[in-house]
Amino acid sequence: MAKKKVKVIEKSRRPNGEGSIYQLRNGLWCAKVSYKDEEEKPQRRTFYGHSNIEVAKKMDEFKGKISTYNAKAFKEITFGELMEEWLLTFKKSVVVGRTFEGNIRVFNLHIKPFIGNMKIEEVNPIVIQKLLNQMLEDKYSLNYTKKAKFLINQFFEYCVDNKLCEQNPTLRTRVKSKDKKTYDREDMYKAIPPEARILFIEKLNNHPFLKAFCMTGMFAGLRAGELLALKWDNIDLKNKTIKVEHGVTQVPQFDDKGNVLSRKTVIGDTKTACSVREVPIPDLLVDALNDWKKEQWVKSNLYGNDLINSQAIVFCNNNGSIRTYSGTRRIFDRFLKHYQLTNLGIHFHTLRHTYSNMLFEANENPKIIQSLLGHKSVKTTITCYNSVDKSYFKQATDKLNKLFDKEHMELYKKLQEKPNAPVYNKSIEEMQKDSGDYDPEMEMLEKMLAERKARKKLDFDM
């Protein structure tokens, strides 16, 4: 019995671009293309031909139609819709909640109202430059304006990578590198003035919580977030040190449009890696923290919560929960208002500036102050945390007066000891006569020339 012949199809690597083209047993060639229709529903189209070239041609023609359809659909989408989708899909997943909140705020307040209704091909360097200029004219800070430019630049990089546009127009825009400002000397002093520090501490004695909280900021240089995250395990009252390891932050919760639904206060990492540090504290602060620990012991017995164990938060609520920054600030503001201290311009960060200023006043090494404050760069320590008031200018001037008065007197005495010492209270003519350089004929000639010039000027004026 003769065996039935079966046609064997040789498989070979298909050229690039032909997609899923294959030959059927009946000899025809076939290809399938997957795509989405106008309602974004997945569809599939099959093509047949007598050769793979014929099928590839049919498939390419159909792909061209699909590309044209996608291009038409893309042209209907505005710049604002595209950037909003990018923010919610890509940007949100790679940054922390507070950073994304700032990004969506910049987009909604500035980018979307200005260029949101434009098409992406209409957004050119001139349009973006006008947006940045308008933000600066509206008195927004240079850093805030740069954030808007950075965000637009990132979006266009995404567009270029995904063939949504050919080039990034943000690269041709310019924003000044530094913001030049004229400061009032009185506004430059960011610390509590020396003459008001004792008064401030005296008023704190009437408020146990704020006394411990503010003095820790004032004599240890901790940020408000670091203070609120501090645990008793971080404080070594015996060795007089505080270890800074964490900080309080707020984690926002968003809806599908990027709107903030709620915020949750949590203990997280410090502001930067350099902020992790161990700070020695003075006896004055040790006494204040001991008093506060006794106060917390009384509350523990009163409310039934252990507020002084090693893992308890030092400046917590009565139930042991984390205090929020805003709630603590309201308590502080009421305190300042009650004791009429609002005119001193004190806020939480003023305490940290006061700490650094007291160290500078004690002539401490700036590198040491940098480490105690947890700064990454000593430049920040010197430029931002070293304020001076007018009393220091007067002290510097007094030192110069004393120095030069002393040197002048010594020089004067030496000159008086010399027989031919010049006397500086004489006129130049007298000094020329004394030196032998005086010539009466030259003096007369100079007077004649001066009179001739005066007559010429008078004739000209007439």
The DSSP 8-state label assigned to residue 268 in this structure reads: E
Phi/psi at 311 (nearest 5 deg)?
A: -95, 0
| Secondary-structure class of domain 79-172 per CATH | mainly alpha
Q: Encoding tokens for residue 419?
A: 């027989």
Give the pLDDT confidence score for residue 429 in this predicted structure: 56
What residues form DSSP beta bridges with 265? 250
| Ordered alpha helix ranges (H), 168-247 | 185-188, 194-204, 208-220, 224-228
Phi/psi at 32 (nearest 5 deg)?
A: -125, 135
Residue carrying the six token digits 């027989």: 419
Give the pLDDT confidence score for residue 13 in this predicted structure: 45
Which helix (H) or strand (E) element contains residue 104?
helix 97-106
Residue 207 burial by CB count (10 A; 0-12/13-18/19+): exposed, middle or buried?
A: middle
- From the list 368, 372, 370, 388, the residue with the least C-alpha distance to 380 is 370
Question: What's the first-to-final CA gap in the chain, in angstroms?
Answer: 142
Give the pLDDT confidence score for residue 414 in this predicted structure: 59
How is the chain split into domains, by residue range?
A: 29-75, 79-172, 191-387, 428-456
Give the pLDDT confidence score for residue 343 in this predicted structure: 87
pLDDT in tens, the chain (462 residues): 444 443 333 344 444 444 567 888 888 888 887 766 666 677 778 888 888 878 887 777 776 555 544 555 556 789 999 999 899 888 888 888 888 999 999 999 999 999 999 998 899 999 999 999 999 999 999 999 999 999 999 999 988 888 788 899 999 999 887 765 544 444 456 888 888 889 999 999 999 999 999 999 999 999 999 999 999 999 999 999 999 999 888 888 888 888 888 888 888 888 778 888 999 999 999 999 999 999 999 999 988 889 999 999 999 999 999 999 889 999 999 999 999 998 888 888 889 888 888 888 888 888 888 888 888 777 777 777 666 555 554 555 565 566 556 555 565 555 555 555 454 455 555 555 555 555 565 666 667 767 766 665 555 454
Give the pLDDT confidence score for residue 291 in this predicted structure: 93
> Residues 139, 179: contact at Cβ < 8 Å?
no
Dist. CA 44–CA 42, nearest whole Å: 7
3 state SS of 169: helix
- Cα 283 vs. chain centroid, distance in angstroms? 35
Q: Are strands 241-244 and 277-280 parallel, antiparallel or unpaired?
A: antiparallel
Residue 301 burial by CB count (10 A; 0-12/13-18/19+): exposed, middle or buried?
A: exposed
What's the whole-model pTM score?
0.60
Strand residue runs (E) in 123-185: none
- From the list 242, 246, 324, the residue with the least C-alpha distance to 285 is 242
Give the pLDDT confidence score for residue 395 in this predicted structure: 57
The DSSP 8-state label assigned to residue 167 in this structure reads: S
Q: Which residues contact 5 (CB under 8 A, 6 or more apart)?
A: none
Q: Show the 3-state SS of 15-66.
A: CCCCCCEEECCCCCEEEEEEEECCCCCEEEEEEEECCHHHHHHHHHHHHHHH
The DSSP 8-state label assigned to residue 81 in this structure reads: H
> Residues 279, 241: contact at Cβ < 8 Å?
yes
Provide DSSP, 271-312: SSGGG-EEEE--HHHHHHHHHHHHHHHHHHHHHS---SSTTS
Sign of the dihedral through C-alpha 386, 389, 391, 395: positive
What residues form DSSP beta bridges with 241? 236, 280
Give the pLDDT confidence score for residue 185 in this predicted structure: 44
CATH code reported for the domain at 191-387: 1.10.443.10
- From the list 359, 397, 380, 398, the residue with the least C-alpha distance to 191 is 359
Dist. CA 374–CA 272, nearest whole Å: 8
Q: Encoding tokens for residue 113?
A: 């109202």
Dist. CA 56–CA 47, nearest whole Å: 9
